[in-house]
Amino acid sequence: MKRYLRHLPALLGVLLLVGAIYVVQREFRHLKLSDIKIALAAIPASALIISFGWTVLSYGVLTFYDRLGTIYAGHKVTYRRVAFASFCAYALSHNLGFAAVSGAAVRYRLYSHWGLTAVQIAKVVGFCSLTFGLGGLVLGGCILFFEPLSVPFFAKVLPLWAFYAIGTAMWAVVATYVVISKVAGTVRVRGHEFNLPNWRMAVVQVALASVDVAVTAAIFYALIPPTPGLTYLRFLACYLASYSAGLIANLPGGLGVFDTAMLLGLEPYLPPPVILGAILVFRLYYYIIPLFMAGTMFALNEILLRGGALVKGGKVGRSLQGLVRISEPDFAVGAATGAVAICGALLLSLGVLDDRPDFSWIDPDFADMAASAGQFVPSLIGAALMVLAIGLSQRVTLAWGGTIALLLVAAGYTAAQGNQLWISAVLALSAVLVAPFRDAFYRHARVLTSTLQAEVMVPLIALAVCVIALAAFEPQVRRLSENSWWEIVLSPDLPNSLRVVMALAVLMALLALWRLLRPGHVTWLPWAGEGRLRYASLGAQPPNQADGIVMGEAGRSGIPFLRMGRVMLGLGDPAGSPADRISAIWRLRDLAAQEGLDPAVWRAGPGLLKVYGDLGLTALPLGPDGQLLPENADSQPAALEYLCCVAERDLVTLEPQLHLLAERELDAAE
């Protein structure tokens, strides 16, 4: 059950996105792109300037999150560095989704270079996440007390007393946090004791977070015209509900979910084209421009850091690709996943905006063929891209190749159909951006690693049957003017039998595609047999005790492991070829997932900590004896070895086991 529950957030995100597409198709299907263009042109220049000013202020306020966080962690960093780290972390995490993970990875890379330990960086990340939550609770309580009927979706469902009760609970959480900071200073969660900021800093946290959320909402509010009845507080209620829905969906930038929620929440006050125009400018200001700026700044910083290290080591003259490769796990993979997911959503929603100019320069035969397919083929490609985006996040090579192929095919189709040229340009540009990062996608898909057994043949056959069935359906639905597959499923003009079969065919095809695309089943070698000899052949000293060894994709590196309760503990960094070590770490993680365990690594070196961070593991410093070092509020030199684990769940289990491992090592040495 725990293995399936781990996929619950991703499933929830997909369901929310599907629900958003359905709502847009039902409520706003008559929107025209020309109407949105008119609404965009109607936004006055003064509103654009004011909104941009709020954006700058919003990111400026966010820098003080990190400023306070470094003070709380006990390692004060100059404001210039803090501002740089904060902007890069928030701009990337806002766009790439999974904000806590992507923001933490960027902060780890930067703050570790500036002397913070892994524990201190974890404190900064936790402090920033907590601060944002406090602001949402404070403003959410204000709305529920003063404008409860303005909360979209729930205003007609919950009684008035329920809003007051929820608002009181929100304020009570914030008040309790401040009181505990004043009285106790520590809090114990799941057997772990955490030091809280002093009560003055806690009060500043609450005030700072409230200002941040209010200012971010003002970016959007400045873009809409003055409307009777739509006060700022009522708008804030809609914004908070929509932003929360986007966070829950865990999609890049809350794409689709946030936008649909804003459309529904503001529909009683403004026409849909005006709302969509404001959404586009808001995303441009708050998401797209900062993403490109932060991506450029972060990449240049990586080049400078790496270049400085090369100069010191006397290795000048390496290629640019070698210089930026260190940032790929954080940036390239996450950016590719987000961009492909956005392209998939774009293709799925093409039928919503029906405004297609004619491109007479396209080959007539190809144009006729593409036009006859309507939105049917592009919508199928969009759904497939959503699955491929998941494969990209798992670093699957086949997903990389399939993504580029589908993006180029979709670009050609949309151009031939007479869609807006910018759609084809976005698809083609996304393919060009993903193509250079082949080295970041190194894991082989199951279809390429498994023999032609039932687990491969069944999905292959199912995928072929579904594709043939979908091709056979196309002539029957050609009479529909907007015939994407999901519109066919929802259309009351077609027989129910056809709609059900269509839905099943698409869902089965997507499931079969994922079954073939996902990383292959991980095998391991028993330590008592071939495993120990294989590890020794890699030039490493075998540990005295292990259950087995996991090899890398190329078989040129390996990492031994022990099962300890709910944890699969890797014993040190992988040995062998440096080019194959990262894949060995990921295969250890996959093997742990297969067995329903959490991955962890004991005595990990500092060189691969960023890879362990990509797996969501926290690095805790170890002493020479292999035991956890006591937490030190002052600056301390970087440790030579670390324990990388899911600290909030597994540290209590692992800590006593480390003493036994260290004693066994000592006995063996003696």
Cβ contact 630:584 at 8 Å: no
Alpha-carbon distance of 375 to 483, in angstroms, equals 5
Among 488, 517, 546, the domain boundary falls at 517
Q: Which of 298, 169, 280 is nearest to 223 (CA)?
A: 280
Whether 369 has a pLDDT exceeding 60, the answer reads no
Better-predicted residue by pLDDT, 375 or 640: 640
Q: Across residues 643-660, what is the average pLDDT?
A: 78
The answer to whether residue 322 is domain-embedded is: no
Residue 549 CB neighbour total at 10 angstroms: 27
Chain segment 67-101, per-residue pLDDT in tens: 988 888 888 888 888 888 888 888 877 776 555 44
Chain segment 170-201, per-residue pLDDT in tens: 889 888 888 888 887 777 655 556 678 888 88
CA geometry: angle 89, 93, 99, nearest 5 deg: 115
**Distances, alpha carbon 46 to alpha carbons 42, 385, 578, in Å:** 11, 39, 55
The residue type of 228 is: P
Chain segment 290-340, per-residue pLDDT in tens: 877 876 776 666 556 554 443 344 333 333 233 233 334 445 676 677 778
Residue 20 pLDDT class (50, 70, 90 cuts): low
0.75 exceeded by pTM: no
Alpha-carbon distance of 339 to 345, in angstroms, equals 10
Whether 480 has a pLDDT exceeding 60, the answer reads no
The answer to whether residue 315 is domain-embedded is: no
User: Which distant-in-sequence residues (6+ apart) come within 8 Å of 647 by Cβ?
Assistant: 122, 192, 618, 620
The answer to whether residue 316 is domain-embedded is: no
**Distances, alpha carbon 230 to alpha carbons 272, 443, 488, in Å:** 15, 51, 37
pLDDT of residue 217: 92
Cβ contact 616:538 at 8 Å: no
Mean pLDDT of the chain: 76
User: Which distant-in-sequence residues (6+ apart) come within 8 Å of 550 by Cβ?
Assistant: 522, 524, 558, 559, 561, 570, 584, 587, 588, 591
Among 517, 547, 582, the domain boundary falls at 517
pLDDT of residue 197: 83
pLDDT of residue 562: 92
User: Which distant-in-sequence residues (6+ apart) come within 8 Å of 611 by Cβ?
Assistant: 329, 582, 585
* 450 and 547 inside one domain: no
**Distances, alpha carbon 304 to alpha carbons 83, 323, 334, 521, in Å:** 18, 9, 22, 39
CA 302 to chain centre: 21
Alpha-carbon distance of 376 to 477, in angstroms, equals 9
Q: Across residues 594-611, what is the average pLDDT?
A: 85
Chain segment 140-153, per-residue pLDDT in tens: 888 888 877 777 66
Q: Which of 387, 422, 569, 509 is nearest to 17 (CA)?
A: 387
φ, ψ of residue 548 in degrees (nearest 5) = -175, -175
Residue 624 CB neighbour total at 10 angstroms: 10
pLDDT of residue 634: 46
Whether 365 has a pLDDT exceeding 60, the answer reads no
pLDDT of residue 448: 65
Cβ contact 587:525 at 8 Å: no
The answer to whether residue 264 is domain-embedded is: yes
Reading the block at residue 298, the tokens are: 């972060």
Whether 540 has a pLDDT exceeding 80, the answer reads yes
The answer to whether residue 311 is domain-embedded is: no
Chain segment 494-538, per-residue pLDDT in tens: 777 777 777 777 888 887 787 777 776 788 899 887 888 888 888
Continuous segment of H or E residues that includes residue 571: strand 567-571
pLDDT of residue 10: 57
Residue 382 pLDDT class (50, 70, 90 cuts): confident
φ, ψ of residue 560 in degrees (nearest 5) = -75, 160
* 256 and 287 inside one domain: yes
* 132 and 215 inside one domain: yes
Q: Across residues 254-268, what is the average pLDDT?
A: 81
Whether 7 has a pLDDT exceeding 80, the answer reads no
List the single range of 86-100, 150-164, 262-276, 472-486 with lowest mean pLDDT: 472-486
How many separate domains does the chain show?
3
The answer to whether residue 325 is domain-embedded is: no
Residue with tokens 């009927």: 149
Among 456, 487, 517, the domain boundary falls at 517
Residue-number span of the structural domain to which 610 is assigned: 525-669
Whether 289 has a pLDDT exceeding 50, the answer reads yes
List the single range of 355-359, 477-481, 604-608 with lowest mean pLDDT: 355-359
Residue-wise over 389-426: b if at least 16 C-beta within 10 A, else e? bbbbbbbbbbbbbbbbebbbebbbbbbbbbbbeebbeb
* 455 and 548 inside one domain: no
Cβ contact 205:121 at 8 Å: no
* 22 and 109 inside one domain: yes
Reading the block at residue 567, the tokens are: 């944890």
Exposure on the CB side of residue 421, measured as CA atoms within 13 A: 6
Cβ contact 519:394 at 8 Å: yes
Please, which residues bridge with residue 571 across strands?
602
Percentage of the chain beyond pLDDT 70 is 71
Please report how the helices 496-517 and 376-393 are oriented relative to each other, as an axis angle in degrees rounded to 10.
30
Tell me the Ramachandran region of residue 605: left when phi exceeds 0, alpha when psi lies from -120 to 50, beta otherwise.
beta
Cβ contact 575:555 at 8 Å: no
Whether 614 has a pLDDT exceeding 60, the answer reads yes
pLDDT of residue 215: 93
pLDDT of residue 418: 63
Query: What distance, in Å, lies between the first and last C-alpha atoms of the chain?
Result: 44
Whether 36 has a pLDDT exceeding 60, the answer reads yes
* 559 and 437 inside one domain: no
CA geometry: angle 393, 398, 399, nearest 5 deg: 35
Cβ contact 35:273 at 8 Å: yes
Whether 357 has a pLDDT exceeding 50, the answer reads no
Residue 220 pLDDT class (50, 70, 90 cuts): very high
* 483 and 537 inside one domain: no
DSSP 455-495: HHHHHHHHHHHHHHHHHHHHHHHTTSSS--HHHHHH-TTS-
Q: Across residues 403-429, what is the average pLDDT?
A: 81
Residue 566 pLDDT class (50, 70, 90 cuts): confident
* 30 and 122 inside one domain: yes
Cβ contact 34:273 at 8 Å: no
Reading the block at residue 397, the tokens are: 């090579």
The answer to whether residue 357 is domain-embedded is: no
Q: Checking DSSP bridges between strand 567-571 and strand 598-604, what pairing results, if any?
A: parallel
* 207 and 131 inside one domain: yes
List the single range of 17-21, 61-65, 551-555 with lowest mean pLDDT: 17-21
* 560 and 492 inside one domain: no
Reading the block at residue 633, the tokens are: 């509020």
Whether 471 has a pLDDT exceeding 90, the answer reads no
* 463 and 587 inside one domain: no
* 123 and 241 inside one domain: yes
The answer to whether residue 319 is domain-embedded is: no
Q: Across residues 249-261, what is the average pLDDT?
A: 74
Alpha-carbon distance of 235 to 221, in angstroms, equals 7
Whether 50 has a pLDDT exceeding 90, the answer reads yes
